[in-house]
Structure 1
Amino acid sequence: MSQGFQWIRSLIFMIVIYAWMLILGVVYLPYAIFTKRGALRACKTYARSTMWLARWMVGIRCEVRGTVPTGEVVIGAKHQSFLDIIMIFDAIPHGKFIMKRELLWTPVIGMYARRLGCIPVNRGKKGAAVAKMVKDVAKEFAEPGQLVIYPQGTRVAPGVSKPYKVGTAILYNGLGFPCVPVATNAGVFWPRTGILRKPGLAIVDFLDPIEPGVERDAFLSRLEDVIETRSDALMKEVGFDPDGGH
């Protein structure tokens, strides 16, 4: 299949999934306004249908590996694309994401993120942002769920290095929950920028939890090592060399 034809398929796919997001957002709106269960059902429906469309329209198959946590945990996840968000959210029972504040003003996404209990962070005010994040998370965990945070703070393209930030360690120590690292290769097929979506096997892998009580620096070092090592292995599994590209 030519890359040009795949690009056209990808463009149609992107139009379809964003139109579908708007349709579902409107259909579920009355339910979501009055109950978080409605918002959760809408987002689960969107995640599952988008993964189905990805397989059918652009050839991306999605696979979840490892033991998916169901209790109260912090999930420290590798973030390469929108796809890994969808896959993780679909896999866990009640995901709540640490997200950049600007997304709250995004049509559909912002309203549903609020209803799910996602915690916005002002990335421009580092010290104040971390302090507020901890306070907001403590309040939000009055209701059980799995808190998803991206330790690198943003999407990072396959093969690109970016340091792990201290926020994940602060939440891990402050909440006293286990931290479940998650690796992925999703960005190989669904990149952080551009239209082209490549066929292949996108994987998110839930790794062994880091139990509470590990000192901050040791925790961050261990978290980065297990996520990066496993993510590199997943990328190599599908033919992508994280040290030098395809």
Structure 2
Amino acid sequence: MLQWIRSLVYILQATIAMPVIGLVFAPWAMFSKTGAYTACKTYAAWCMWSARWLIGLRCEVRGEVPQGEVLVAAKHQSFLDIMMIFHALPRAKFIMKREILWTPVIGQYTKRMQMIAVDRGKRGKAISKMMEDVNAGRIEPGQIVIYPQGTRVAPGAHVGYKVGTAVLYGQLEQPCIPVATNAGYFWPRRGLFRRPGLAVVEFLPPIAPGLTKDAFMKQLEQTVETASNALLHEGGWRPDA
């Protein structure tokens, strides 16, 4: 019961903090992408810091965080892993569902940072639009972050990896950095309860450019799933829990 109360208090203060931080940084963010990035990184830092003190959830980033232009293909279990990845990367450019553009505060900031919005209901067109945005040079240099499964996936659930990641990998001809996480065990994709423990985002060794589509997809899925499952077990998750 105490952890439930702490979880609700945490969610309430984090919900209030979002518009407050958004408004404080708005004048800077209106004229500068750096201002928009700083605002969002400040919010992510606040959420991670307050999680430690209010719900006993610590956040840790492992591995070598990429600094240059790379493709980042990440496991997605929770809003927490988004914040951890965004905070860690110097200039993250997320490929996200278009509906987020209309979310209060978040939508305005994602537009300002020129995140890549795609329509998940039109798969072929979504991939084409994603490719066009990269090719046209409208996206400034940075780390392009894509979720190969296309959605949040609960621990233990299986969702296939989508071909869009391989298409982007082939076009960019850049290293791909796989990313594993166990964040979904502590911060579920649905519900209000937050578990105490250690949430980890781990940047794994890069996959060099030049692989065939099938070889790349196989290596990516095996790498990310194996590392994510190891992190889940380290955090205390069990398949029958």
TM over 0.5: yes
Give distance in 2, aligned partners of 1:26 and 1:140: 30
Unaligned runs of 5+ in 2: none
Give 1:108's match in structure 2, choosing from 105, 108, 117: 105
Moved more, 8-17 or 68-77: 8-17
Q: What amino acid does structure 2 have at the position aligned with 1:77? A: A
CA spacing shift, 1:142–1:156, aligned 2, 3 Å: closer
Distance 2:105 2:9 in 1: 20
Aligned equivalent of 1:133: 130
Say if 1:217 and 1:37 are closer, same or farther in 2 by CA, change over 3 A.
same
Q: 2:66 maps to which residue? A: 69
Give the Cα–Cα distance (whole angstroms) in 2 for the partners of residues 142 and 41 of structure 1. 18
Q: Report the equivalent of 2:44.
A: 47
Deviation at 1:138, TM superposition (A): 2.9
Distance in 1, matches of 2:12 and 2:152, equals 21
Map 1:79-90 to 2 at 5 A. 79-90=76-87
Query: Are the aligned partners of 2:118 and 2:130 in contact in 1 as well (CA < 8 Å)?
Result: yes
Structure 2 counterpart of 1:224, which letter?
A: E
Pair 1:75–1:141, CA change in 2 (3 A): farther
Cα separation, partners in 2 of 1:141 and 1:229, compared to 1, 3 Å: farther
Does structure 1 residue 38 correspond to structure 2 residue 35? yes
Partner of 2:240: 245
Amino acid at match of 2:206: P
Q: 1:181, CA displacement in angstroms? A: 0.1
- Name the aligned partner's letter for residue 15 of structure 2: Y
What is the Cα deviation at residue 228 of structure 1?
0.1
Could you tell me how far apart the structure 2 residues matched to 1:190 and 1:46 are? 17
- Other structure's SS at 2:83 match: helix
Q: Does 1:168 align with 2:187?
A: no
Q: Deviations over 1:165-205 (max 9, x none)?
A: 00111111111111000000000100000000000000000
Distance 1:8 1:165, change over 3 A: same
* RMSD after superposition: 1.0
